[in-house]
Amino acid sequence: MNTFGRIFRIHIFGESHGAGIGVCIDGCPAGIKIAEDDFVSDLARRRSGALGTTPRSESDEPKILSGIARGMATGSPIVVVFENQNIRSSDYADVSISPRPGHADYTSSRKYNGFNDLSGGGHFSGRITLGLVVAGVIAKKIIDPIKVEASVAEVGGLKDINAAVSAALAEQDSVGGIIEGRVSGCPIGLGEPFFDSVESMISHLLFSIPGVKAVEFGSGFAAARMRGSEHNDAIITAFGDTATNNAGGINGGISNGNEITFRLAVKPPSSIARPQQSYNFELCSVEEMRITGRHDACIALRIPVIAEAAAAIALADLNLIQLAGSIG
């Protein structure tokens, strides 16, 4: 469903080519300072523009409908909407007949019996993540002074990211990448095991971002090849600092005060200019398909700010839940 969280609750809505998309945020404590300008920086990081990102531009102007007055959260739900400028295009009319490989055309058409809005990817468009970024900005304010930062670690296996993107573009192709995230200043004690461990909450949100194929914390997949004597992080100070951080700042699903670290893999965008094979459900045969228009060659470049939002949203909720349990 389109809701996440227990106390800090976010509801995502919108379709790529509908009237607007946005987010409804419940549970933001009253008095948090929020101005429309606060969204500018993170929205800009998400927006296209860099090499390898789609040159199509939307203004991405957030409009606050409710929940903020005199520059502060009122305690009632915050709704922020982005109007779509290019509405109801019919460019996508035939994607249910010839589903684009790697896209949700086929699965969403079947799930919703053809009633879903396929234009521009509909509710499956990456554009939906605008709402996540907005919620992330507010979440970051709630968890302050905890800081969440994410960046691109590599693209196509290379640290030289421009080179990797250029190579892919030259071949009318796209390329994947890896994002690294770090949370500093997190107090000891966030996380609600058994089910709502820090990892469970963050991964739940990360895996809702279109294109994410893998998530790891701390040592991650490398842990599978390690010995316990090597993997165990020895506590070395009275503040709980550890000599190593294979745990990625989390033990038993609960933050341990050290930096929370995570990595995620983003697949190469599915829309490529090169001809591809696709099944035509009208002709009942495989045929060649060409996807026209301009698209991201490397969506991973736009993911860091969304990954930050995911982590911040999860931690904001866990933070508020932890407060609720602090009367014992």
Span 88-117, contacts to a copy of itself by CB under 8 A: 88, 99, 101-104, 106-108, 110-113, 115-117
Q: Partners of 33 in the beta sheet?
A: 72
How far separated are the first and last CA of the chain, in Å rounded? 33
Stretch that binds a copy of itself, among 38-46, 53-61, 195-203, 301-309 (CB under 8 A): 195-203
In the region spanning residues 156 to 185, those forming contacts with a copy of itself, defined by CB under 8 A, are 156-157, 168, 171, 173-178
> Looking at 128, 130, 137, 311, which residue binds a copy of itself (CB under 8 A)?
128
Contact at 8 Å (CB) between 202 and 310? yes
Query: Whole-number minimum distance, CB 151 to a copy of itself, in Å?
Result: 14
Among residues 108, 83, 66, 71, the alpha carbon closest in space to that of 16 is found at 83
The residue written with tokens 């963050």 in the block is 202
The yes or no reply on residue 261 touching a copy of itself (CB under 8 A) is: no
Three-state DSSP at 205 gives helix
Stretch that binds a copy of itself, among 41-49, 52-60, 66-74, 301-309 (CB under 8 A): 66-74
Q: Binding-site residue total for a copy of itself (CB under 8 A)?
A: 156
Stretch that binds a copy of itself, among 37-45, 48-56, 301-309, 320-328 (CB under 8 A): 320-328
Q: At what angle do helices 129-143 and 304-324 cross, to 10 degrees?
A: 50
> Looking at 63, 159, 290, 294, which residue binds a copy of itself (CB under 8 A)?
63
Stretch that binds a copy of itself, among 42-50, 53-61, 209-217, 301-309 (CB under 8 A): 209-217
The yes or no reply on residue 44 touching a copy of itself (CB under 8 A) is: no
The yes or no reply on residue 233 touching a copy of itself (CB under 8 A) is: yes
Query: Whole-number minimum distance, CB 239 to a copy of itself, in Å?
Result: 10
Both tokens assigned to 52: 């390898």
Distance CA 126, CA 295 (A): 11
Query: Whole-number minimum distance, CB 28 to a copy of itself, in Å?
Result: 8
Contact at 8 Å (CB) between 242 and 257? no
The residue written with tokens 């970051």 in the block is 140
Query: Whole-number minimum distance, CB 134 to a copy of itself, in Å?
Result: 14
Distance CA 13, CA 112 (A): 16
Q: Indicate the DSSP class of residue 66.
A: E
Query: Whole-number minimum distance, CB 266 to a copy of itself, in Å?
Result: 6
Q: What is the helix (H) or strand (E) element at residue 59, kind and residue range?
A: none
Contact at 8 Å (CB) between 51 and 36? no
> Looking at 91, 93, 240, 294, which residue binds a copy of itself (CB under 8 A)?
240
Query: Whole-number minimum distance, CB 130 to a copy of itself, in Å?
Result: 12
Distance CA 249, CA 253 (A): 9
